[in-house]
Amino acid sequence: MDELTQQVARFLEFLATQRNASPHTIAAYRNDLNGFSSFVRSERGTTVSTKTVDHLLLRLYLASLNGVNKQQQQAGYAKSSIGRKLAAVRAFFGWLVRTGQLEVNPAELIATPKREQRLPFHLNIDQTVTLIEAPAHAAQEQPTLARDTAILELLYSSGLRVSELTGLAVVDLDRAAGMVRVQGKGGKERIVPVGSAALEALGQYLAGRGQLADDAPLFLGCRGARINRRAVFELIRRWSKNINTFKNVSPHTLRHTFATHMLEVGADLRSIQELLGHSSLSTTQKYTHVGLDRLLEVYDKAHPRAREADQQNGEST
């Protein structure tokens, strides 16, 4: 095992033990850093040291991600993916500097590519209702219908990430208070409200499972173990066939729909940030794609000078 491979392995161990990173995050870092390591070896040989990596080699690496791979005839990555890969490399070299294995982080000189401003897809109210009620209108009785309804209701009611939903235990749900305790990114805990429709669906689902230990998984897969991400994606894909849309619907679609609908009825960004568990308000701002008509309506109702002008116009007529 060469030096670069050993250092990557120790960095991933640091993320798991010291930063309490989720398995999904660690897997993403491993994939990105393994790809970077393969590129470095192809350019500098199999016995390469991180001390020989400079900003020029990193620029060459980014160019390989951004352009066309002439050998494999594969198109370059999206700017968002390139930015994520660069962030992994920057974090890796930053750790090497902090632990005294390097003196300078060569990735600090590399600018992150500007991401495309693409608005995440969300459902309208009618589509959301149709999706959530789809299991109840299923043609055939299925043992997972109550569970699927509860999952759909909870995702929309509370804006959870799929990893947060699959990690829930029975004890995390306080039905009397209408709250759920969630372990978010980086192990950060937050308390999120649960709406009455979701509470009712959860109650019906849990009633069919009998007596449960506090540490039992809140949602089970078909084989009786804790439900996984793939199963949640699959059940949403299956039930979303009932709505009129050409776009793929995922757990994040419901999270984004939750945030969008909250914003449209007047919730402020800070509140939505807390509910979603975003560490930065800038992350929440991507949900502010409210139409101009809606913004003008809110302005006219809320701004004192706007109301004063309306009153004067009314008096003059």
What tokens appear for 115 in the block?
């991401």
56 touches 68 (CB < 8 A):
no
Enumerate the β-bridge partners of residue 179: 174, 193
What tokens appear for 1 in the block?
């095992």
Backbone angles phi, psi at 173, to 5 degrees: -95, 120
- Residue 187 CB neighbours (<10 A): 10
3-state secondary structure 98-145: HCCCCCCCHHHHCCCCCCCCCCCCCCCHHHHHHHHHCHHHCCCCCCCH
Catalytic residue ranges: 161, 185, 252, 255, 278, 287
Cβ-proximal residues to 188 (8 Å cutoff; 6+ apart), any chain:
277, 279
What tokens appear for 29 in the block?
């870092």
What tokens appear for 30 in the block?
């491993």
Backbone angles phi, psi at 217, to 5 degrees: -60, 140
What tokens appear for 291 in the block?
């139409």
